[in-house]
Amino acid sequence: MGELLDGRYRLDGVIGRGGMADVHRATDVRLNRAVAVKLFHSATERSTLEARLLAGLSHPGLVRVYDAAPENDRPYLVMQLVDGPTLRRCLDTTGALDLRFTARLGTRLADALAYVHAHGVVHRDMKPANVLLDRDGTCFLTDFGIARAMGSARLTSAGHCIGTAAYLAPEQLRGENVGPAADIYSLGLVLLECLTGSPEYDGSDLEAAVARLSRPPRLPAWLPPVWTATLAAMTARDPQHRPSAADCAQRLAAATVLGTRRAPVRPPWRRAVETQRMQPAAVGY
């Protein structure tokens, strides 16, 4: 039997590790329900902020929060358990994804971002490791650990950037205040990686940052025009020239009919799900 947290949540095993918290597969013994418990290493302003931000959000494209104790000696969040791999694991396992699946994934993520932005929140760390896929290939945006309410006080010093270097918008790299447009840029890079199978700005953090500030993303010549136009707009250097998340969702929904690359009989994400069952520690929240 695993440890019982606050007399209710039985911790059944670690399924993800991070710098701020570990994520456990767990059981809510009162409701006999499988859940994920994000157990923070210590009580911090970030753990409290994440709990408060997520408590006010409810969208099909976001992992649901059931319970929280952000100010305990052992602060935690209790969340919906998504029993599948991260998009990072999926891409590492299968390589590039087909156009139609990527359009569906992008539509759902853009719709989730539109909801988040409408509620005054910027995610700030959109990347494949923060997208979970269930066994049907449905995606969920996760990890609001460095998210920020628009207009709130900064948790980082001015002139410093926060996030994952390979997916940061130019304004994040410059340490400027960021808004919803930064999430759009990062989502554009995530979708481009889904289609090519490789990060556009690879290498060390410094190499990725220098490349980002010196050239725009390279869009494959084989992309249909709607994809080229959409990704170019999403990754525009000037944040004011990027479309809103709602506009991105509409454009990507239109792109779902463009199946110019035939989907395989067994979709790539299905292979990743099967691999995930053997390597559950790759799940991230």
Q: Which residues are part of a known binding site for ATP? A: 38
Distance CA 131, CA 94 (A): 16
**125 belongs to the catalytic site:** yes
What does each C-alpha distance from 162 to 11, 198, 250 come to in angstroms?
31, 22, 29
Q: Rounding to the nearest 10 degrees, give the CA dihedral for residues 219, 223, 227, 228.
A: 40
Annotated catalytic residue: which of 98, 125, 143, 183? Answer: 125
Q: One-letter amino acid identity for 73?
A: D
* 252 and 107 Cβ atoms separated by less than 8 Å: yes
> What is the distance between the alpha carbons of residues 168 and 276, in angstroms, rounded to a whole number?
27
Residues in binding site: 38
- Per the CB < 8 A criterion, the answer to whether 73 and 124 are in contact is no
Give the Cα separation of 196 and 256 in Å (integer): 17
DSSP letter for 28, please.
E
Catalytic positions, please?
Answer: 125
